[in-house]
Amino acid sequence: MKIGSLSLRARAVVEGFMSGLHRSPRTGFSTEFTEYRQYSPGDDVRFLDWKVMARTDREFIKKFEDETNLRCTFLVDFSKSMEFGGDDAGVKKSDYARTFAASLAWFLTQQRDAVGLATFDRDVREFIPPRYRRDQLKTILGRLETQPAGNATDLCQALEKLASLVGKRGMIVLVSDFLSPLGELGRCLSLFTAAGHDVRAVQVLHPREVDFNFEDAAIFEDMESGQSMILDPGMAREAYRQKYNAHNAALDAIFSAQGIPGFRVTTTEPLERVLRRFLEERPARAVVRQRRSNGRSAA
Amino acid sequence: MSFLTPLYLLGALGLAIPVILHLLHDRPKNKQAFSSLMFLDKTKPPVDRKRRPTHLLLLLLRCLALLLLVFVFARPFTTVDDPADATQRDRQWIVVLLDRSASMQRGDLWQQAKAKVQTAIGQLGPGDRFTLIAFDDSTEPLAEVASWLGSQSEAKVNARLEGLAKPGFGGSNLGQALVFAGEAIQEAEPEADEPPLAKREIVVISDLQKGSRLGDVQGYEWPAGIKVTLEQIGEDDQGNAGIEQVASRVPWATAGAAPSFRISNSANGISDELEFLAHTTAGETLSQKVHVPPGRSRVVELPGEWAAQPIERLSIRGDAAEFDNQFHYAQNQQQTVRIVYIGEDKPNDAEGSLFYLASAFQPTSTFDFQVEAVSGKSTGPLPEADLFVIGAAVGDALANALGRAIEGGATALMIVQSPSQAANLGQWLGADGVVIRDIASRDYALLHSLKLDDPVLAVFRDARFSDFTNLHFWKHRELQNLPDDGIDVLARFDSGAPAWLSARRGEGRLLVMTSGWTPADSQLALSTKFIPLLYSILQPVLERKTQSRQFVVGGRIDVTRFNNGQAGGGITVTPPGDGAAAVSADTVFTPAAPGLYTAKGAGWSETFAVNLTPTESRTEPIVMEQFQKLGLPMSASTTAPVTAVSAKKTAAHRREYWQWALAAMLLFVTLETVLAAKGSRPAEPVMT
């Protein structure tokens, strides 16, 4: 994070990745052939392969892969808790999360994919619908560049609102620390998965949030609620870790139930590696099956 | 232990500063922002145990030093109680005014009042002067001690106080009592060997009810050096309702009017629904509900069916205080006033004088006027009368009898209507050659030069009633050869001729009008001046005969007015209650308790009622500002002189401790410095 500009940082991260087409989950009008299927009464006769029919005297329907572009929307947490960090132990979580989102956006734009952005804390703050335009990336990077000034996080409320804003199916990349009561998070995430979105969650954490390795007693202040507590970290560490692990286990269970790939990263982890991990990940099976069922069938 | 400058003790609050600093030291100073406290539980703040004992000792020393510094500034001292001081005390004179009016009968007010007297006595020292005065309508000095001798004097005062078993029935005249006490102090002449008085104080022990009369204090110049302390009792007054008769002494009330009673409810009254009861002599009780909101009064007319019964007592029920709920009632009796008209007029002749005379004197609730006509030529005896009106020439026999009656004290009004009356007038005035001449006025004559100072015309003295220009006289007569002495001209006509004359003859008097009130003579009978003029002529008689049957406790009752003003001597008054001894009263009787009294004389007996003063029913406390407005020299409380004396005493015999406190403080500061220096010195290296 030595590079100050977010766009430069993103560019540096993306360099080395080569472009490649994403397969569209839909079959439709395109030039790429996928398979033959025997004609059955009711199929559109326009899709009959006349050459095969002439050659074999049998009716076959040609199926093609639809060459639509990917629509990706980044949901980035701009709450106060994301401001933690920026010390010797690692960068700010918000800087890390914004750089990750910017890098991925850059990468997708390079591939002519439509990219959108939503920022939220307790509620949705900004929403830029996914588009493929020349200045879309500039707009997104500009918005990500602004300093988060949010309050407390209410993931569920923000997700409910976003579900109504994000229209067509596509990829949803949720970037947050998920450090708030989980409550009905599962139900709120299901609003996206049920609508056929390919949801991926990236949990950004600071190393101190993972192991709570403070030394001196201090007045600990909650960055979101402003509450304070006098603590001896040595005495509180064990209980902290237990609760932290339990929280993450619950979060993983929610992701798993919804078929959402979850990425837990700390701000000390190199971004290129995280990006690679992210792109290599395939959507969960259940979601793919659901998408295929929506496919067009040839006559 | 006391302090000369106790305000400095507030400095002890500064002790909190080192304690707070000490506590702050234990709290971590650094703050750590953290993304979420949701995984954290509260733990005890860490304590640096090694440094704690040293700190506590230092804290203790610093607190003690600060406390001693505060002590030094507050100047602590103790007083030495020296019995020899008593002789050196300043003398004071306490005058206690003890209210014994009827309103003090409420609850335990009397016991409270007596206890307050004891408190005042307890503040007296040897040599002090003490006066105890009881007051209600009157003011009565009960005890006077010129030089207080402790228990001996106390026993004397207590004996007099015990003599007052309970309060009386009188009204409260606080103003009179205050002025009495003020004058008693002012007029007291100090004896030659008497030590001077440093303080003069009047202590009023009273319920200070609104009904207390304070009029005497207004305008009274209080002597310098007197302080008045008001010791109020019964501040928790729960309100009271009172009853009084309305307009019981108006002589011109119509004869058939039912008596009215005013029922008033004080502003702090507990109820607005009162019961109005009438108790007959037969023991029967009649009652009706009366709605009187607190702070208001209502006039209730005695219902017709009640008035027909012989009522001896009225009462109200439903208020907190009982002492004034009874109203003893004695029905007023009409007094007979006899008027004899001497003339030839017929009673219903509207052109004559008698018709208007009889019309003017209608019976009222107080008086029964009996107008009798006698012919001037009558040879019979002259009837007895309170007023003789002579409207025609009178025969010799009657004239002689009239002359004697006037000399004996009768009042006669002579209307000169014809020259033939000259002989009579000359005879009664004791003048020869009186001539009466008719004056033929061109239009009319008016009155002027009225002598409004004369008792007969005094009723018209007010500027609203002194205009006689609307009164026209068509005809009048001129009197010639009148004697110069003994005749007052009360009014003249505008021609200068006398119109109304007054002459004193022996014990009685003769009034002469040179123009009558018949329509042929003047407009007098039809004017608003006529009836007041006739009543004014009769006034001495009416005054003598006016006697109400309703009196208040402490009021002076002129017993000679009973029996139609002819009570005579040897009158006895029997107070209420069975077996009460009759009291002989020659002229004046002063009742001390309410009830129905009976006055008896030779051959007659009359009952009259005595009630509480109506103002006693107003028991709500007087607003204290009223006393200040009246210029009363108020003091804070009766304890003030005692504290003043004790302050003087301590000035002479106090023992101060501030020097000791200062020395101790310096010692603690030194100790603290040594300990603090030890604590901060680095440990010496250990030689190996």
pLDDT of B43 reads 67
Is B32's Cβ below 8 Å from some Cβ in A?
A: yes
Is B584's Cβ below 8 Å from some Cβ in A?
A: no
CB contact under 8 A, B45 and A232: yes
Instruction: Spell out a b/e string for B508-539, using b for 16 or more CB atoms within 10 Å of the CB, else e.
Output: bbbbbbbbbbbeebbbbbebebbbebbebbbb
Query: B-chain residues within 8 Å CB-CB of A93?
Result: 35
CB contact under 8 A, B34 and A220: yes
Nearest CA in chain A to B36: A222
Q: Residue A36's pLDDT band (boundaries 50, 70, 90)?
A: confident
Residues 6+ apart with CB under 8 A from A46: A299
Query: B-chain residues within 8 Å CB-CB of A183?
Result: none
Alpha carbon distance B139, A187 (integer Å): 97
Distance (Å) from the alpha carbon of B24 to chain A's nearest alpha carbon = 13
* Among candidates A82, A84, A243 on the partner chain, residue whose Cβ is nearest the Cβ of B39: A243
More confident position, A58 or B43: A58
Distance (Å) from the alpha carbon of B8 to chain A's nearest alpha carbon = 39
Strands (E), B161-284: 197-206, 226-232, 241-246, 260-265, 273-280
pLDDT at A34 over 70: no
Sign, CA dihedral B110-B112-B114-B120, equals negative
Residue at token pair 């539980």: B41
* Among candidates A219, A236, A239 on the partner chain, residue whose Cβ is nearest the Cβ of B28: A219
pLDDT of B247 reads 65
What is the crossing angle of helices B422-429 and B396-407, to 10°?
A: 30
Structural contact between residues B63 and B19, judged by C-beta atoms closer than 8 angstroms: yes
Q: pLDDT below 50 — which residues of chain B?
A: 49-51, 81, 83-84, 86, 249, 638-652, 683-688
Nearest CA in chain A to B27: A230
Query: B-chain residues within 8 Å CB-CB of A82?
Result: 35
Residues 6+ apart with CB under 8 A from B216: B173, B175, B176, B178, B179
Is B43's Cβ below 8 Å from some Cβ in A?
A: yes
CB contact under 8 A, A84 and B46: no
Is B680's Cβ below 8 Å from some Cβ in A?
A: no
CB contact under 8 A, B34 and A222: yes
pLDDT of B602 reads 81
CB contact under 8 A, B32 and A221: yes
What would the mean pLDDT of A115-136 be, rounded to a whole number? 88
Nearest CA in chain A to B40: A240
Nearest CA in chain B to A179: B36
Is the pTM higher than 0.80? Answer: no
Distance (Å) from the alpha carbon of A243 to chain B's nearest alpha carbon = 6
Distance (Å) from the alpha carbon of B683 to chain A's nearest alpha carbon = 26
Instruction: Measure the CA angle with vertex B596, ends B594 and B601; round to 5°.
Output: 125
CB contact under 8 A, B42 and A81: no
* Among candidates A93, A221, A225 on the partner chain, residue whose Cβ is nearest the Cβ of B31: A221
Query: B-chain residues within 8 Å CB-CB of A228?
Result: 31
Query: B-chain residues within 8 Å CB-CB of A247?
Result: 38-39
Is A220's Cβ below 8 Å from some Cβ in B?
A: yes
Is A224's Cβ below 8 Å from some Cβ in B?
A: yes
Structural contact between residues B597 and B571, judged by C-beta atoms closer than 8 angstroms: no
Supply the DSSP string of chain A, one letter for each residue: -----HHHHHHHHHTTPPP-PPPPSSEEEEEEEEEEEE--TTS-GGGB-HHHHHHHS--EEEEEE--PPPEEEEEEE-SGGGG---BTTB--HHHHHHHHHHHHHHHHHHTT-EEEEEEESSSEEEEEEEE--TTHHHHHHHHHHSPP---S--HHHHHHHHHHH--S--EEEEEE---S--TTHHHHHHHHHTTT-EEEEEEEE-HHHHH----S-EEEEETTT--EEEE-HHHHHHHHHHHHHHHHHHHHHHHHHHT--EEEEETTS-HHHHHHHHHHPPPPHHHHHHHHTT-----
Query: A-chain residues within 8 Å CB-CB of B25?
Result: none
Query: A residues 5-64 near B, CB within 8 Å?
Result: none
Is A203's Cβ below 8 Å from some Cβ in B?
A: no
More confident position, A225 or B415: B415
Alpha carbon distance B479, B449 (integer Å): 17
Interface test with A, best of B25, B27, B36, B47 (most A CBs within 10 A): B36
* Among candidates B30, B41, B42 on the partner chain, residue whose Cβ is nearest the Cβ of A218: B30
Is A145's Cβ below 8 Å from some Cβ in B?
A: no
pLDDT of A14 reads 65
Alpha carbon distance B497, B494 (integer Å): 7
DSSP state of B252: T
CB contact under 8 A, B28 and A218: yes
pLDDT of B680 reads 64
Share of chain B above pLDDT 90, in %: 23
What would the mean pLDDT of A49-64 be, rounded to a whole number? 84
Interface test with A, best of B30, B39, B42, B48 (most A CBs within 10 A): B39
* Among candidates A206, A218, A240 on the partner chain, residue whose Cβ is nearest the Cβ of B39: A240
* Among candidates A82, A93, A220 on the partner chain, residue whose Cβ is nearest the Cβ of B32: A220
Interface test with B, best of A230, A240, A242, A251 (most B CBs within 10 A): A230
Q: Residue A8's pLDDT band (boundaries 50, 70, 90)?
A: low
Is B50's Cβ below 8 Å from some Cβ in A?
A: no
ipTM value: 0.76
